[in-house]
Structures are given as structure tokens and as C-alpha cells.
């Protein structure tokens, strides 16, 4: 299913509907050309049972919006997964979801599974056409305008490199959290212990010594003391876990393993201690499945004059069109990483992929090794929770 929307009324300010819906249509076959003058097209992921009516809207981008409903319905289609992340590049802020800074770990022959075999080298930073958002004078994000640039054979330093777009790191901690929450009012007593990977962290009323934290005057202060004790390099914990106080729940200490692929960290209160609420889980995921939508764009020239040459006596308007691409093409490679790009796994279209590692630091990279500019209209990532430690 496709939804056509008037581009002139596209409004990301958050006032519903955010743009006038013109019509709906079925998803075309590969190679079919669709004229889109004055419109942009939203393609609903396969299997998502989305109903479009007079109350449907694009913005604000809350749980009732068309993109959010499409992603939620797509997740329902695959009940073996717990979460969905998505981006359809409709909002100005969507332009900020990509990393355009220099990045030293793009997919290459040494960090991919299966090994990348194309002769094109990775660029030093993303090579894509993207709108701008977030600052004065920025032109914003025009739907259907994100594009992966074709291969480059320019002069050094960009000789024989592929085109690509890479997401910024997406933190999966919130989907599969691990934390210590100090109960309020305080019931902790000196000598109470929480074990991190079997190493005891002990409560004290006085000045803490090695592997101790001080009980503060309230739960929030105590949580800060716990986080400081875990991160203190002279204590025994900073080599395998890091801690940060939750910005929305000041009594909660978020725990993240070091490295992010470490799934062996356990958090256990010693027997009889009830001053903590502990949520323990392997963070992140070790599997993804992805959907994406791509097209080729073409715009003809406006001819409306009596001149000489090939355009003499012709009168034809400019036409913008999308050419539907197959779900998978040889020149488009999609990779996912949950260790911030240290290792990448090739992701086929709508096929489950076991990643090399489990982790919380998700990145997705779209690689264009061909000679044509490929427009990316959006993607969804489905992933499951990992089971908590036994």
C-alpha cells in the first residue's frame, strides 16, 4: 500500500494532519514508474494492516500518526520480535538521525559477515544526499529526498569509494534495561551488599573505602554515590560495567556492560538486602530483521518554447517520477551492527539475521556500490529481547 500526500502542504510543526493526503494505491511492481509531481509517497511495510481515513495524520509524530501506526502494525505481523525502530525521513529532525561526521568503521572486508568482497573502498564519511534540520536557515527534510550517492571514481582522496548513509548510534538500553534502583524512603543499612558480576559493592555510613558506597541523606543522593563508586577507576567494577544516574528517575542507576557486547554481567543483592530494586537483563539484542523501501528518481525538463534543435516546437511540462526498485538489488548492501560499527552483518531483505555479537549500540549502514543514485524512502528494524541471565 502507498499513500500519496501533497508536498506543498507538508507541515512538520506538529499541527495535525501535517499534510493533505491525496490518495492511496497498491505498492507497484519492480520497474513500474509512478509520476509524483507535487506529491510525495509513503510506502507501508508489507503485511502492516493500516487503515487510512479522514482522521489519519502525519504530525505530530506520536503513536497515532501514520508512520508510528505503520511500524506498530508491521511489528504485529512478526510476533517473534519484541521491538521496532523506524525512520521514514519525513520530519526535519529525521535529517539529524544520520552520522555525517568522519567515521572510521564503515563496512569493509575486515569487519563484515559475510566478508565484503566489492573492490570499492569505504569513504571517510557518509556519501549521501540529505536534508538539513535543527538550525537557523536549514532547509529541512523533504520526504523521498534522501539518496545514496553512486560510486565515486574521482581524484584522491575519494578514489573508488562507495556511496552510503549511516545512522548515528541508537542506544538499545531502554528496550532491555539493567539497573539498580534505591528504594525510597531509604532502608539501606551499613554492610548491605550488591554483587556486580560476583564482586561485592558494600554500603557504608561513613567515608567509603575500596569497593564501598556511602549511604546518602536520600535515595537520589545514594544512587549518585553508587554510580560514582562503580565508575571509580580504583574500585573493582569499571573494567566490566559503567553506571549513570537515570535523568528521569534520579533514584535509578543505569548499568551498561563493558564492552557493550558483554552479556555475562550479573547484578544480585546479597541475601536479605531489600533496599534495592534490581532489574537485570542481558542488554540489547543479537538478531535483527529489516524492511526498507528504495526507488530511482527522474525529472524531465520543462519544454514550452519554439526554439531550434531537439526541443523545437515541443510543449511538455517537467515530470518527476519514481521507478520502483526490487526489494533486493546487487548494488545495494544493507548492514547492521550492535557494537557501534566494530563488526557488521549483512542484512537481506525481510530475513532474520543472527549478528556476530550481542550489544546495545545499534547502527545501520546502507551501501550503494552502483552507478545510479538510489533514493531511500525509509526502513524498519525489528529485534527481540535477549533473555535475562539464569
Write down the pLDDT at residue 155.
58
Residues 40 and 152 in one domain: yes
Write down the pLDDT at residue 388.
60
Surface-to-core class of residue 188, CB atoms within 10 Å of its CB (0-12 exposed, 13-18 middle, 19+ buried): buried
Residues 190 and 303 in one domain: no
Residues 150 and 242 in one domain: no
Residues 105 and 9 in one domain: yes
The answer to whether the bond into 17 is cis (omega within 30° of 0) is yes
From 279, 311, 326, the end of a domain falls on: 279
From 279, 309, 343, the end of a domain falls on: 279
DSSP label at 162?
-
69, 95 in Cβ contact below 8 A?
A: no
Residues 215 and 128 in one domain: no
Residues 274 and 292 in one domain: no
In this predicted structure, which of 91-100, 134-143, 202-211 has the lowest mean pLDDT? 134-143
Tell me the residue range of the domain where 304 lies.
Answer: 1-170+284-390
Whether 137 has a pLDDT exceeding 90, the answer reads no
Query: In this predicted model, what pLDDT tens digit does every residue of 163-173 receive, in sequence order?
Result: 999 999 999 98
Pairing mode, strands 199-204 and 193-196: antiparallel
Residue 371 to residue 150: CA distance in whole angstroms: 5
Residue whose entry in the numeric block shows the C-alpha cell 517473534: 80
Residue 365 to residue 167: CA distance in whole angstroms: 7
Q: How far is CA 260 from CA 61, 229, 305, in A?
A: 30, 20, 63
Write down the pLDDT at residue 390.
35
Pairing mode, strands 170-171 and 163-166: unpaired
Mean of per-residue pLDDT scores for the chain: 90
Whether 80 has a pLDDT exceeding 80, the answer reads yes
Residue 94 to residue 275: CA distance in whole angstroms: 42
Tell me the average pLDDT across 251-265: 87
First to last CA, the chain: 44
Write down the pLDDT at residue 312.
63
Residues 107 and 215 in one domain: no
DSSP label at 200?
E
- 329, three cell numbers: 538489488
Write down the pLDDT at residue 317.
74
For 382, phi and psi rounded to 5 degrees?
-100, 140
Binned at pLDDT 50, 70 and 90, residue 262 comes out as confident
Write down the pLDDT at residue 83.
95
Tell me the average pLDDT across 276-304: 86
How many domains does the chain contain in total?
2
Tell me the average pLDDT across 44-64: 92
Write down the pLDDT at residue 382.
98
In this predicted structure, which of 10-24, 129-143, 148-162, 364-378 has the lowest mean pLDDT? 129-143
pTM: 0.86
Write down the pLDDT at residue 331.
96
For 179, phi and psi rounded to 5 degrees?
-155, 165
The answer to whether the bond into 157 is cis (omega within 30° of 0) is yes
Residue 78 to residue 92: CA distance in whole angstroms: 30
Surface-to-core class of residue 10, CB atoms within 10 Å of its CB (0-12 exposed, 13-18 middle, 19+ buried): buried
Write down the pLDDT at residue 127.
95
Highest-scoring range by mean pLDDT, 6-15, 135-144, 231-240: 231-240
Residues 4 and 134 in one domain: yes
Residues 143 and 291 in one domain: yes
What does the longest C-alpha to C-alpha distance in the chain come to?
93
Tell me the average pLDDT across 312-322: 76
Residues 25 and 138 in one domain: yes
From 213, 248, 279, the end of a domain falls on: 279
Residues 166 and 183 in one domain: no
pLDDT top residue among 287 and 311: 287
Amino acid at each position: 500500500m502507498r499513500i500519496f500526500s501533497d508536498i506543498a502542504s507538508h507541515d512538520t510543526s506538529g499541527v495535525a494532519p501535517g499534510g493533505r493526503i491525496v490518495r492511496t494505491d497498491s505498492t507497484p511492481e519492480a520497474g513500474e514508474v509512478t509520476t509524483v509531481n507535487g506529491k510525495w509517497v509513503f510506502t507501508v511495510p508489507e503485511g502492516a494492516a493500516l487503515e487510512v481515513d479522514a482522521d489519519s495524520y502525519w504530525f505530530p509524530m506520536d503513536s497515532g500518526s501514520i508512520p508510528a501506526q505503520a511500524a506498530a502494525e508491521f511489528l504485529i505481523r512478526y510476533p517473534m520480535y519484541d521491538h521496532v525502530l523506524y525512520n521514514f525521513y519525513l520530519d526535519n529532525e529525521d535529517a539529524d538521525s544520520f552520522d555525517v561526521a568522519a567515521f572510521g568503521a564503515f563496512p569493509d572486508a575486515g569487519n563484515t559477515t559475510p566478508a565484503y568482497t566489492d573492490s570499492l573502498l569505504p569513504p571517510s564519511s557518509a556519501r549521501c544526499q540529505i536534508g538539513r534540520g535543527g538550525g537557523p536557515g536549514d532547509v529541512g527534510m523533504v520526504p523521498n529526498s534522501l539518496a545514496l550517492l553512486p560510486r565515486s571514481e574521482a581524484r584522491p582522496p575519494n578514489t573508488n569509494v562507495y556511496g552510503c548513509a549511516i545512522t548515528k548510534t541508537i542506544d538499545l538500553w531502554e528496550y532491555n534495561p539493567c539497573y539498580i534502583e534505591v528504594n525510597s524512603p531509604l532502608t539501606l543499612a551499613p554492610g548491605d551488599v550488591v554483587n556486580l558480576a560476583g564482586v561485592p559493592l558494600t554500603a557504608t555510613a561513613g567515608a567509603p573505602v575500596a569497593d564501598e558506597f556511602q549511604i546518602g541523606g536520600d535515595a537520589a543522593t545514594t544512587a549518585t554515590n553508587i554510580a560514582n563508586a562503580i565508575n571509580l577507576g580504583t574500585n573493582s567494577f569499571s573494567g566490566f560495567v559503567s553506571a549513570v544516574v537515570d535523568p528521569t528517575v534520579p533514584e535509578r542507576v543505569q548499568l551498561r556492560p563493558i564492552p557493550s557486547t558483554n552479556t555475562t554481567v550479573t547484578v544480585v543483592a546479597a541475601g536479605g538486602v531489600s533496599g534495592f530494586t534490581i532489574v537485570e537483563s542481558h542488554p540489547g539484542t543479537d538478531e535483527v530483521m529489516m524492511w526498507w523501501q528504495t526507488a530511482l528518481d527522474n525529472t524531465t525538463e520543462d519544454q514550452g518554447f519554439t526554439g531550434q534543435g531537439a526541443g523545437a516546437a515541443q510543449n511538455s511540462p517537467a515530470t518527476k517520477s519514481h521507478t520502483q526498485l526490487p526489494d533486493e538489488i546487487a548494488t545495494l548492501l544493507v548492514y547492521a551492527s550492535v557494537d557501534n560499527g566494530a563488526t557488521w552483518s549483512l542484512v537481506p531483505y525481510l530475513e532474520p539475521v543472527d549478528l556476530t555479537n550481542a550489544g546495545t549500540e545499534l547502527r545501520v549502514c546502507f551501501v550503494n556500490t552502483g552507478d545510479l543514485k538510489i533514493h531511500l524512502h525509509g526502513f524498519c528494524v525489528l529485534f527481540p529481547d535477549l533473555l535475562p541471565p539464569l
